[in-house]
Amino acid sequence: MLNLLNTYINSPLDQFEIRVFLGFVSPFYDLSCLSFTTFSLYTLIVLSVILGLNLLTNNNGKIVGSRWLVSQEAIYDTILNMVKGQISGKSWGYYFPLIYTFFIFIFTANLISMIPYSFALTSHLVFIVSLSTIIWLGATITGFYRHGLVFFSLFVPTGTPLPLVPLLVLIELLSYIARAISLGLRLMANILAGHLLMIILAGLTLNLMSINIFTLVFGFVPLAGILAILCLEFAIAMIQSYVWAILTCSYLKDSLYLH
Amino acid sequence: MPQLVPFYFLNQLTYGFLLITVLLVLFSQYFLPMILRLYVSRLFISKL
């Protein structure tokens, strides 16, 4: 019989814990923000994966690229068409590198977090919500810069009856402010919930399979379910990066062209 | 939740935004123009 009962599974939240690998101490300043932690390690891993993929696929600038370049071109075309479709007009090209960077970063970080025993960068509320708030703030500043006070017309949908305007402005303002949090919360909650679900179900199945020979055989049924959830999580990892990119485009479009 | 310990907030933000900035510079200065040059050269060869 497999000796799985002695396998100890920690809290499901352990995978999100940040550990300090290398700390810096100074008597004058608090340097804890520069400590080399799990988070820092994974930012370096994400950076090296993205750099490696982009440097190795370019085939030294030859016109006929390698097969890997086809994948890069496919991502480039997808994001280009999305940005062009969402932010139409003249200025979409200015924002393309920003949207592309966000997409590639979240895509890579999500896929790296799917490796067992690795760490999910995008499941950290503080970082992701700060990022989404900065995007929202940038879009709002762009709107005010371009349109001045006319920007407030964004809060009055066209064709609204006059008596309803005060109520609708309030609702639209609330929904506009909620965008700052909801963009980041959507990504963070999806990734956090997915990783928690996988580890909890896997722990339960492990316990079930380690009881006796019958449960060991029967345990392959929930194991197949976990495999399906794993596939779903891979899909979520990719879809969420696309959703982030498309929503950023949509917010920018609202600021640039109002309605 | 361990990820909500305030000690790590600034650490996450420092490294996270540093990564985003480095990626943004690399993509907008090197990688995306490289793909664009590739597309333009293909266009010149095949259609113009």
pLDDT digits (tens, 9 = 90+) for B22-46: 999 999 999 999 889 888 988 899 8
Alpha-carbon span A38 to A22, nearest angstrom: 10
User: pLDDT at position A157, please?
Assistant: 83
% of chain A surpassing 90 pLDDT: 60
- Is residue A103 a contact partner of residue A231, using CB atoms and an 8 Å limit? no
The band of A138, judged by pLDDT with boundaries at 50, 70 and 90, is very high
Residue A174 has pLDDT above 80, yes or no: yes
- Is residue A41 a contact partner of residue A25, using CB atoms and an 8 Å limit? no
- Is residue B32 a contact partner of residue A100, using CB atoms and an 8 Å limit? yes
- Is residue A138 a contact partner of residue B24, using CB atoms and an 8 Å limit? no
* Residue range A81-105: mean pLDDT, rounded: 92
User: pLDDT at position A75, please?
Assistant: 93
The band of A89, judged by pLDDT with boundaries at 50, 70 and 90, is confident
Structure tokens that stand for B40 in this block: 């333009």
Q: Choose the mutation target among A14, A30, A34, A39 for the interface with B, i.e. most B CBs under 10 Å.
A: A39
User: pLDDT at position A19, please?
Assistant: 83
Tell me if A124 and B5 make a contact (CB, 8 A cut-off). no
* Residue range A114-140: mean pLDDT, rounded: 93
Alpha-carbon span A144 to A141, nearest angstrom: 5
Alpha-carbon span A54 to B30, nearest angstrom: 10
Contacts of A37 in chain B (CB under 8 A): 8, 11, 15
User: pLDDT at position A123, please?
Assistant: 92
Alpha-carbon span A223 to A201, nearest angstrom: 9
Alpha-carbon span A46 to A102, nearest angstrom: 12
Structure tokens that stand for B26 in this block: 């690399």
Q: Who's near A6: CB < 8 A, 6+ residues apart?
A: none
What rounded mean pLDDT belongs to chain A?
89
B43 part of contact set with chain A, CB < 8 Å: no
Residue A29 has pLDDT above 90, yes or no: no
Residue A148 has pLDDT above 80, yes or no: yes
B2 part of contact set with chain A, CB < 8 Å: yes
User: pLDDT at position A1, please?
Assistant: 47
- By Cβ distance, the residue of B13, B26, B34 closest to A127 is B13
% of chain A surpassing 70 pLDDT: 96
Backbone angles phi, psi at A117, to 5 degrees: 65, 15
> What is the distance in angstroms between the Cα of B48 and the nearest Cα belonging to chain A?
16
> What is the distance in angstroms between the Cα of B18 and the nearest Cα belonging to chain A?
9
User: pLDDT at position B5, please?
Assistant: 59
CA A235 to chain centre: 13
B46 part of contact set with chain A, CB < 8 Å: no
Tell me if A126 and B5 make a contact (CB, 8 A cut-off). no
Q: Bridge partners of A37?
A: A20
Contacts of B2 in chain A (CB under 8 A): 13-14, 16-18
Element (H, E) at A37: strand A36-37
In A87-164, which ranges are continuous DSSP H helix?
92-113, 125-147
Tell me if B26 and A51 make a contact (CB, 8 A cut-off). yes
